[in-house]
Amino acid sequence: MKAKRPISAHYLAKSLPLVLIEKRNELALMTKRRNALVFGRPQEQMMFVFSYGVVVLFDFDQKHASKILKQIAKYGEEPVEARKIEEYAVVVDPTAKTSVEFDSVILNALDADHLYVIAEVLAQSVAIDYVEERVDGIVKRLGNVTTDLEKEGRFRLRDRDVLRAIGAGSGIVQYVITQLSLLDKPDVTWEDKDVETTFVAMRKMFELEDRFKTLEFRLNFIKDTSEVALNVLQSRKGHMLEWAIIYLFVIDLVLVLYEMLRH
């Protein structure tokens, strides 16, 4: 008999404190991973809490899910108001081979390792959704800088706005590289060939490789444009300093002439 069970990933915040959540969660801790906590049991409910701000819930009803997410979100760093959600399903069919479909993954039996790699791909996918939205905003702001430089030889954004855009871009680069670990495989994939096959198929289904390449291209644009903007800002400040020196020299000259005329 086939059993279809929901699994969903929720982006809650920039990061989640795993040590604190481990102590203050109602579900029983099953295991700890490099950047995640796993609660519950495969035959019942499971929750995966990732340090990069995502919670994945397996087989939770809406009411219970809302309660859990609200509780965990209050511990997050920079919690988001409009949460990103990735919804999927796990179909258990003892007569079928494991396969990844458009709206579900089919397993012939439930086990914690398969559920973990499914959860990790969903978590990375919803985190990329959030990053893509942030990057789009930064690219638009810095795109105005390049347009202004091309047309007028200068840009209209205030120094503070440019520096904020550069800082936001650097923060996203750090988040993608140090926390998401998009290029790393979970340890469980090295121990079980079937789990690795499911992980690879899930990544392909959610286009993580292609989305990462697109993201990498945009992040490089942010990096290059940031360097240009910083050079312009430094040049601008240098010109301001030169004019300030000239202004002070003129004042000094006027005062000297004034004293000479008095005498």
Q: Over its length of 263 residues, how does the chain's per-residue pLDDT go in tens digits? A: 577 899 999 999 999 999 999 988 878 899 998 889 999 987 889 999 999 999 999 999 999 999 999 999 999 998 888 889 999 999 999 888 999 999 999 998 889 999 999 999 999 999 999 988 888 887 777 766 666 666 665 556 566 666 676 677 777 777 777 777 777 888 888 888 999 999 999 999 999 989 888 888 887 777 777 677 666 666 655 444 444 444 454 455 445 444 555 55
In the structure encoding, which two tokens stand for residue 155, read together? 């840009």
How open is the CA angle 52-57-61, to the nearest 5 degrees? Answer: 145
Name the CA dihedral angle for 12, 15, 18, 22, rounded to a multiple of 10 degrees.
-20
Burial 126-149 (b: 16+ CB within 10 A, else e): bbbebbeeebeebbebbebbeeee
Query: Which residue do the tokens 């809650």 mark?
Result: 12
Q: Locate the domains of the chain by residue range.
A: 3-126
- CA 156 to chain centroid, in Å, comes to 29
Rounded to whole angstroms, the Cα distance separating 263 from 258 reads 9
Backbone dihedral region for residue 29 (phi beyond 0: left; psi -120 to 50: alpha; all else: beta)? beta
The model's pTM is 0.80
DSSP 184: P
pLDDT, tens digit (0-9, with 9 covering 90-100), for 19-41: 999 988 878 899 998 889 999 98
User: Are 165 and 138 a contacting pair, CB within 8 Å?
Assistant: yes
